[in-house]
Amino acid sequence: MAESETKRADTVRCTIDGREVVVRKGTTILHAAERVGIKVPHYCYHRGIPSRPAMCRMCLVEVAGVPKLQPACVTAAQDGQEIHTESEKALLMRRGVLEFYLLNHPLDCPVCDQAGECKLQDYVFAEGRKHGRSHEPKRVFGRDDFGGDVLFYGDRCVMCTRCVRFMNEIAQDSRLCVVERGDRSIIDTFFEDGLEGSPWAGNIVDICPVGALVSKDFLHKQRAWDLDHIPSICPNCSQGCNIQLHVRDNAVQRLRPRPNLEVNAYWMCDYGRQRYEWMNRGDRIEAPACRTDGRLQAMAWEDVVGRVTDALRGASGVEIVALASPFHGNEDLGALAALVAAAGGGRLLYRSERSEDEVVCPGFPKLARRQELASNGRGAELLGFQRLGDDRGRGGLEDVANHDGVLIVLGEELRDADAFFGARAKLFVHASPYRSGAAENAHFVLPVTTFAEQEGTFTNIQSRVQRFWPGLTPPGMARPAWQVLGAIGAALAGEKAPATAAEAFSRLGRRAPEFDGLAYETIGTTGALVREPVGFAGINRSL
């Protein structure tokens, strides 16, 4: 059979609301409709959850020649079918289903956290009855604390069971169930065993289509329509989950997972989800400073960059030690490595906190909260940085703290260092977003941005390079480290400084051939694997 004939035999052709669509055999009507831009309303179905109970009855569509309406989420499209999602029968059925959902649903949209993101709100506005017909008082189920970060409002629940099925099938931690029957059905935890300690429970808030499950951390905090959604990467472990920063008033309000089937599917762990407040810290370095007459004095960037360059030239032949934080992107670390090379070479070091073990998601084993609790340890290693400290990422600063040559620190707060860190250095350059005691000993202090304030990339445990975008406005005169260190390194090397993050990324191949052939265009929004890393020939791409 010819290849073209094989392809035709593996597909079906049908029409949906008058639009012809060709899809693979086995494709559901719901997915086939999406191919031509038609969104079929649904609650219980979710792409990331294997089971499809077809119980919400919102996705019923009319198929010509079939007497009963069919659930689009489980019914496969057939060759020659004529499907209607907006027929009179389908609309009448959805209107009736919505009316039943509203029988006990409270009219509390003005105070509900889900307002603006609520599928019930959207569907009723689009297709529901203008006025209710019930004269009976609404049944009150009340609020329940499920433990962890999750509150449950039973009055709002539409019994889609997404939360129960997620905990059973993805987290594989059966702590939720449906109790009672009929109109008394309610979601509950098993006895006194709540969601405390579950590493994945926050995802049930994300997938709840109404306001039944809400986050305690986000409760009454912001309105959904006021939030800007910035695509980014979770910085809190080496998994590199794709996320969105939800931002308002120049502060990160919450983190939400962003779909990427190669990394985190539709999920993220609660460890990463709950660690975002450090991005909003106020103890920032806002202006570059140079030590003059024993005191740090603020100066313009042009003056400070020139003075640092001259100081590094004057320290020619002196050993250089550079200590970097793996919370900085590849571009920042690459600029630091290039600067050290242009200044004569030296030791490149990094530290990151490590947990005792990693926590794997049973229903999607590619996803885990990894041992390395920083985002770019792999990138640092590919660029020539060596890990410092013990198995938990602690200590190891003794030699660095007493180094009497040139010391350059990027992003390390050095909280476990004593007040004399860097005091013996002939030249101490401290580039960091935050103030610290060690910076008081520096000859130069350079304010740099966090990942949330700049464009760049991280390299995760799979050696997948992934992009992030700026969501916050940096304070004062803070600039990306690749720009600051890149300008100093370029001046030492007698070349042009990188003008953009993409240009800074393109120079990484000089330090690490694994980055050759990659560009921001090829990385896109879902990332791209580096070439087979030197020294990592046996890497397991399925981790």
Residue in 49, 69, 48 with CA at minimum distance from that of residue 59 = 69
Has residue 4 been placed in a domain?
Answer: no
> Do 96 and 178 lie in a common domain?
no
Cα–Cα distance for residue pair 236/285, rounded to 1 Å: 22
Q: Are strands 359-360 and 368-369 parallel, antiparallel or unpaired?
A: antiparallel
| Two structure tokens written together for 260 | 């990427």
Classify 368 as helix, strand or coil. strand
Q: What is the pLDDT of residues 91-130, one digit of tens each?
A: 999 999 999 999 989 989 999 999 999 999 999 999 998 8
Helix (H) or strand (E) holding 132: none
Checking if the pLDDT of 3 tops 50, the result is: no
Has residue 427 been placed in a domain?
Answer: yes
> Do 407 and 466 lie in a common domain?
yes
> Do 350 and 213 lie in a common domain?
no
Helix (H) or strand (E) holding 328: none
User: Which residue range(s) make up the domain with 490?
Assistant: 289-529
> Do 246 and 161 lie in a common domain?
yes
Cα–Cα distance for residue pair 163/170, rounded to 1 Å: 10
> Do 347 and 263 lie in a common domain?
no
> Do 84 and 159 lie in a common domain?
no
> Do 360 and 456 lie in a common domain?
yes
- pLDDT at 141 (0 to 100): 86
Q: What is the pLDDT of residues 233-281, one digit of tens each?
A: 999 999 999 999 999 999 999 999 999 999 999 999 999 999 999 999 9
Contacts of residue 133, defined as CB under 8 A and 6 or more positions apart, other chains included, come to: 99
Cα–Cα distance for residue pair 533/226, rounded to 1 Å: 43
Query: How many separate domains does the chain show?
Result: 3
| Average confidence score pLDDT of the chain | 92
The helix-helix angle for 481-493 and 301-314 (nearest 10°) equals 50
Counting residues of the chain whose pLDDT is more than 70, the rounded percentage is: 96
Residue in 342, 290, 347 with CA at minimum distance from that of residue 488 = 342
The DSSP output letter for 320 is: E
Q: Are strands 427-432 and 406-410 parallel, antiparallel or unpaired?
A: parallel
Q: Assess contact for 167 and 122: CB atoms under 8 A.
A: no
In the listed set 231, 257, 280, which residue is the last one of a domain according to the structure?
280
Cα–Cα distance for residue pair 108/88, rounded to 1 Å: 30
Cα–Cα distance for residue pair 263/102, rounded to 1 Å: 38
Length of the chain: 543
Classify 242 as helix, strand or coil. strand
> Do 188 and 67 lie in a common domain?
no
> Do 177 and 36 lie in a common domain?
no
* CATH number for the domain that contains residue 312: 3.40.50.740
Q: Tokens 């579950």 correspond to what residue?
A: 198
> Do 169 and 312 lie in a common domain?
no
| SS3 labels along 34-76 | HHCCCCCCCCCCCCCCCCCCCCCCCCEEEECCCCCCEECCCCE
> Do 135 and 267 lie in a common domain?
yes
> Do 149 and 250 lie in a common domain?
yes
Q: Assess contact for 119 and 210: CB atoms under 8 A.
A: yes
Q: What is the DSSP string of 482-517?
A: HHHHHHHHHHHHTSPPP-SHHHHHHTHHHH-GGGTT
* CATH number for the domain that contains residue 36: 3.10.20.740
Has residue 542 been placed in a domain?
Answer: no
pLDDT band for 82, please (50, 70, 90 cuts): very high
